[in-house]
């Protein structure tokens, strides 16, 4: 009997609970190389969906808070950091559902 209840609960899993979000920053050198389109294309080819996009210039201090190594992109490394980083750059209404 408990197994049936458990199966029913599992079958009603909320798909939003499995949704993961991340922040990706295209760094200045990649922008200067006009690589933005290529980077976005790679995300889409790999099944990622872009919910929001912004082009802005951040201060050196802000940049130092988000990445220390100068690579082409930055991606959040965990759910908690993704929430913090997304809220730094985007208001809640800017993130599509």
> Which three-class secondary structure state does DSSP give residue 26?
strand
Predicted confidence (pLDDT) per residue in 13-30, tens digit? 544 455 677 778 788 889
Specify the number of domains making up the chain: 1
Q: Which of 45, 56, 46, 52 is nearest to 82 (CA)?
A: 52
CATH code, domain with 31? 3.30.70.141
Per-residue pLDDT 10s for the chain (97 aa) are 333 444 444 445 544 455 677 778 788 889 999 999 999 999 899 998 888 898 988 888 877 776 665 576 667 778 888 888 888 888 888 876 6
Does residue 41 lie within any of the structural domains?
yes
Does residue 70 lie within any of the structural domains?
yes
Does residue 59 lie within any of the structural domains?
yes
Question: CA–CA separation, 65 vs 67, rounded Å?
Answer: 6
Q: Is 65 left (phi over 0), alpha (psi -120 to 50) or beta?
A: alpha
Does residue 58 lie within any of the structural domains?
yes
Does residue 46 lie within any of the structural domains?
yes
The answer to whether the CB of 5 falls within 8 A of the CB of 48 is no
The answer to whether the CB of 22 falls within 8 A of the CB of 75 is yes
Residues known to be catalytic: 74
Does residue 27 lie within any of the structural domains?
yes
Does residue 13 lie within any of the structural domains?
no
| Residue 36 belongs to domain spanning | 21-94
Does residue 84 lie within any of the structural domains?
yes
The model's pTM is 0.54
């Amino acid at each position: 009997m408990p197994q049936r209840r458990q199966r029913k609960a599992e079958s009603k899993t909320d798909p939003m609970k499995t949704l993961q979000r991340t922040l990706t920053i295209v760094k200045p050198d990649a922008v200067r190389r006009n690589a933005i389109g290529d980077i976005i294309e790679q995300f889409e080819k790999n099944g990622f969906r872009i919910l929001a996009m912004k082009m802005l210039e951040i201060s050196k201090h802000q940049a130092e808070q988000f990445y220390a190594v100068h690579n082409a992109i930055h991606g959040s490394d965990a759910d908690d950091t993704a929430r913090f980083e997304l809220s730094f750059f985007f208001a809640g209404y800017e993130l599509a559902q």
